[in-house]
Structure 1
Amino acid sequence: MKVIIMDIDHTSMETAGRAIALEGGEFLRTVNRLSAQVEQFIPYFGNPSSDEAARLFRQGEEGQAGFDQAYEDLSKALTNLGEAYKVIGSAVVSMSKNVKAADLASMIDKNAFVQDLFEFAGRKNDEIPVPTTPVERT
Structure 2
Amino acid sequence: MDIDHKSMEAAGKAIHDEGGEFARAVSLDRSAVETLRAYLGQDEAALIFRRGKDGHPGYDAAQKDLFTALDNLTKSYEAIGAAVTAMSKNVKTADWASMVDKNAFVHDLVEFGKQQPKDLAVPTTPVELA
* Normalised-by-shorter TM-score class: 0.7 to 0.9
Larger deviation, residues 114-123 vs 99-108: 114-123
TM-score with structure 2 length normalisation?
A: 0.87
Determine the structure 2 residue equivalent to 1:58: 50
User: Pick from 18, 32, 35: which aligns with 1:40?
Assistant: 35
Aligned-pair Cα RMSD in Å: 1.5
TM-score, with normalisation over the residues of structure 1?
0.82
Q: What runs of 5+ residues in structure 2 fail to find an aligned partner?
A: 126-130
The structure that has the greater radius of gyration is 1
* Higher RCO (C-alpha under 8 Å, 6+ residues apart): 2
Mark the runs of 5 or more structure 1 residues left unpaired by the alignment: 1-5, 132-138
Distance 1:76 1:40 in 2: 18
Report the equivalent of 1:76.
68
Number of aligned pairs? 123
Q: Give the aligned partner of residue 27 of structure 1.
A: 22
Q: Secondary structure at the match of 1:40?
A: helix
Identity of aligned residues (%): 54
User: If each structure's helix is expressed as a fraction of its own residues, which one has the higher value?
Assistant: 2
Question: Which one-letter code corresponds to 1:92 in the other structure?
Answer: V
Distance 2:115 2:28 in 1: 59
